[in-house]
Chains A and B, each alone.
Chain A
């Protein structure tokens, strides 16, 4: 186990919406000014609390999309049709609104430069969000450890942070690869299949390089990606996962 965060009481704070960014048709980034924000590590999350006029409250957890070096706390929220909180955050929230939050939370699914590498990031769908914080941190501190990112999305339209990721690949030379599992644009040169052992064998570092791996996505995706890497000889203790979404069970 890596170093634990220092125990600190987490109190509710108020953030103000400074900017809203449409990332895809279903996801929106919420840029927050949080006075007195204690800082966070890439990969951590926060709790958001909404309160109705009659005092009814709802809480949810969201990954932080911004790097510790960024001036704002950014959340990227996917709209869920049957959701209670995400429709409010993606459709109702306006610039200047206040949002109650507390954090940062979690200390295991985090990467900071001193953890080293090689660093393998594997994201499915909105599982890219905490990995994007890691990418931004990686660039902000000028880390030189080898890095690869594999990002699986249904189609190019579902790729969150598309422009930024392509810029990181073109301008910063990061090894960022996409796989589109349902629809591909004409002339698509990236991967075009679901994640499995052969795809990870192609993308992952060889197991003897003892890469540090972070996998985030829906349960089935994470099970497959983590299980495939173990099958390829990767040390399970070097694979950290974050899962979300329902299962059939």
Chain B
């Protein structure tokens, strides 16, 4: 660590520093990052699927997903590109509710999405009330550029793990890198340990 001559920084006094992971700054904006064009799948064709290392695959239509009990988490989110956003409000179905009754010996999942995006997570990181399939943000349908109609929401990991335009979860025996993970981003992505890139 070397001091940057003439740099004083702008410490925010209105935010509890304990809520901001190392290397992050808090923004009021909601920046958009995605690798390609925003997909627009008609809701009539939309399904959410759980497949892979499971006893039997399961599938929900859009209406079936909305008919499941939903929750309204308020969470802080942390993007690997350094911004954090506090107290974001969502509505979605807990992943626990979707995995209820699914038999699996797999310990990992690969979330898959419209547009071909994927991301890998340990199963235990999306169960136990830690993850949702979110379809509303701030009381409104989730906008397409933010991942609508539905995105994975896993707020305790860097936000690239909260896959936009999610269409399902593939259960796996082994942890295989998803899209950004294959390009050198961290396999797990804990913002509090600053696990941005491979080897962090």
Contacts and interface: CB of A to CB of B under 8 A. Distances in A.
Interface of A: 1, 4-5, 7-10, 14, 47, 49-53, 55-61, 84, 88, 92-94, 97-100, 105-109, 219, 223, 226-227, 229-230, 236-237, 239-247, 249
A237 B116 contact: yes
B9 A244 contact: no
A88 B31 contact: no
Contacts of B8: 52-53
Contacts of B182: 1, 4
Contact of B183 (A50, A51, A108, A244): A108
10 contacts: A1-B116, A9-B197, A51-B2, A51-B3, A57-B1, A108-B35, A109-B35, A219-B31, A236-B115, A243-B31
B36 A226 contact: yes
A55 B4 contact: no
Contacts of B145: 219, 223, 247, 249
Interface secondary structure of B, over-half rule: loop
A223 B38 contact: yes
B188 to A, nearest CB: 14
B198 A9 contact: yes
A7 B34 contact: no
A241 B35 contact: yes
A37 B115 CA distance: 34
B7 A51 contact: yes
Interface of B: 1-11, 23, 25, 27, 29-39, 81-82, 115-116, 137-138, 143, 145-146, 177, 179-180, 182-184, 196-200
Contacts of A230: 37
Contact of B31 (A52, A53, A59, A247): A247
A107 B179 CA distance: 10
Contacts, number: 137
Contacts of A100: 1-2, 4
B198 to A, nearest CB: 5
Contact of A237 (B9, B36, B177, B198): B36
Given A4-B183, A249-B146, A59 B4 contact: no
Contacts of B36: 226, 236-237, 239-241
A57 B198 contact: no
Contacts of A107: 183-184
Contact of A5 (B27, B37, B184): B184
